[in-house]
Structure 1
């Protein structure tokens, strides 16, 4: 493959084939046995497989509080949606915050991610079908009473698209979504201050669009939650870091402004991949207490939520299979090329400069 062809291939990979989170089953909370504890909470993990609408196997995990995992009654459930280079391992922040209240947490490896089958991620276009597959399974098997979604980055976009498609979802938490994929890509190019006319950048993206559609089966132009949110009425909590330079805060602001359902918007310090602060997690827990209509006891949602169970400390003890380990209280989600990979910005820059110098003969 020529040097230009290699650059082009790397650019496609940066968009729809970011570094895959490779792990072993023992790397999940609870290890091979699936039993673990944290703070004052004893928990259990159940793993299962589903087949999505494209015939690909999805790996799914369901986390349960020990006081609820033996019941046959459907449970209030939150499905965690990971980012483009993530996996179900990223659901730890949801498990640690929600399980103390008996909220079941379900997470999956999207098609093309983690242990699931598939070669490509689609930044929300196909991931929404994977979530609907999980929702259908939970409802048909009587495992979930009410269902909420919690997504980060690509997962937040997926949650937004699901809320428009399935109004029976109780509520969604959207951490750092983008409003329109095409706009985000143009912004990234502009941020690099590339000394070429804007129309050439758009031409380059047009070629990229065609290649990605051929390779991964989705259209980057159609990945635009901003076009759907006026038709969404599910309660939503938006969150965004003030110093996010990859997906700027204005993307969430635009989505929040157009969103038709009940909504709230919180901002916090940090960037796209930083640990989320206790303030944000407290907001998330209270939000799910309300939309999942949990029976409150004691002093209310904040004190009943596990936020006072020791998880608000910087570190906490985690027990699994007789072993004790110390983990951060909030597991950071690795998103958008934070794992080793060719950076998106230089790749885009290199491609555009090469595009100007050389005719794209490899499209023939």
Structure 2
């Protein structure tokens, strides 16, 4: 019975879904990379930026479908995939970020052949894995981290507490038994899953955390935020770990990504044989600015709808700038 509980931790039930469940109203391309099942949603513009969504423990790429439309409407392509041993991807068991970091590397390598900028947006285990990856790689434009954990041990102890309602001294003893059993069954050391206190990452980061999170202790969020080296912002949520994110929160996330990612476009007829990743970043951005300035000089006053959309965007960015 005890081994069975350990197997549940390492081999959670996979989310079952059909390909039709992945539809969101925008064109979708499904593809496979080394046993990982992936989906790419295309916006209606030619874009140099792609958001890569990383689902949480016991999740799948189905988790990302609710976010894809808003990302695409704001001229970002949006990609998601099933981590190993999740959804429809291959794999025997989850590793809470250690092997999943390699999954990210495979997908990012593929996306960088097509996009100049890749943004990582992770939830829970996906957020922690995003930090693991970006700690070792400098090819990410910015990070959105929704409820990352610092040390897996605390998460497992809280899982035991929520399931059995036992005191902490018993929970810690049970954790040691679980750790030994998992090491024996899967040759995997769960105590090795932890982030460094000082994160050597310089790209911009938005951290979403909640004091009402019953699974991840508050000090995890505080330590990650304090130890982060780059530009950082924090949004404090009023919800538990697995609660759905509101439309306002999702809009704030997209506004942050917009503010941190230059959105310039190119014409496919002008660069017929080139991928976005082949363009020189500085020259491309400068060219985009010149084109935009020329358009602004020649265009008449924008329509009421465009003005309204701009006001909403500026309002969102103003709210974002006030976050602490």
Q: TM-score range by the shorter chain?
A: 0.7 to 0.9
Q: CA deviation at 1:255?
A: 1.1
2:206 aligned residue: 237
1:59 aligned residue: 37
Q: What RMSD over aligned residues (CA atoms) do the two structures have, in Å?
A: 2.6
**Bigger relative contact order, structure 1 or 2, given CA contacts below 8 A and separation 6+?**
1
Q: CA deviation at 1:86?
A: 0.8
Whether the 8 Å contact between 2:41 and 2:78 is mirrored in structure 1 is: yes
Distance 1:11 1:147, change over 3 A: same
Q: Distance in 1 between matches of 2:99 and 2:155?
A: 19
Task: In structure 1, list runs of 5 or more residues that go unmatched.
Answer: 1-5, 31-35, 37-42, 52-56, 69-73, 308-364
**Is 1:159 the equivalent of 2:130?**
yes
Calculate the TM-score normalised by the size of structure 2: 0.76
Distance 1:179 1:14, change over 3 A: same
2:85 aligned residue: 112
Q: Residue 31 of structure 2: which of 18, 32, 48 is its match? A: 48
Distance 1:293 1:111, change over 3 A: same
Q: Residue 27 of structure 1: which of 17, 21, 30 is its match? A: 21
Task: In structure 2, list runs of 5 or more residues that go unmatched.
Answer: 265-288, 293-305, 317-324
Q: Distance in 2 between matches of 1:82 and 1:217?
A: 24
2:142 aligned residue: 171
Q: Residue 255 of structure 2: which of 286, 290, 298 is its match? A: 286
Q: Residue 88 of structure 1: which of 42, 45, 61 is its match? A: 61
Give CA deviations for 1:290-311 in whole Å, capped at 9, x if unaligned.
2222249966877459x9xxxx
Give CA deviations for 1:158-196 in whole Å, capped at 9, x if unaligned.
111122111221111111111111123334556766358
Aligned residues: 274
| Equivalent residues in 2 for 1:344-355, closer than 5 Å | none
Calculate the TM-score normalised by the size of structure 1: 0.68
Q: Residue 261 of structure 1: which of 222, 230, 237 is its match? A: 230
1:222 aligned residue: 192
Q: Distance in 2 between matches of 1:114 and 1:92?
A: 14
Whether the 8 Å contact between 2:183 and 2:189 is mirrored in structure 1 is: yes
Whether the 8 Å contact between 1:181 and 1:224 is mirrored in structure 2 is: yes
Q: Distance in 2 between matches of 1:89 and 1:185?
A: 25
1:185 aligned residue: 156
2:166 aligned residue: 194
Q: CA deviation at 1:13?
A: 2.5
| Equivalent residues in 2 for 1:277-316, closer than 5 Å | 277-295=246-264, 303=312
Whether the 8 Å contact between 1:286 and 1:301 is mirrored in structure 2 is: no
Query: What secondary structure does 1:85 align onto?
Result: coil
1:251 aligned residue: 220
Q: Distance in 2 between matches of 1:175 and 1:280?
A: 11
Q: Distance in 2 between matches of 1:214 and 1:102?
A: 48
Whether the 8 Å contact between 2:197 and 2:224 is mirrored in structure 1 is: no
Q: Residue 101 of structure 1: which of 62, 74, 95 is its match? A: 74
Q: Distance in 2 between matches of 1:301 and 1:143?
A: 28
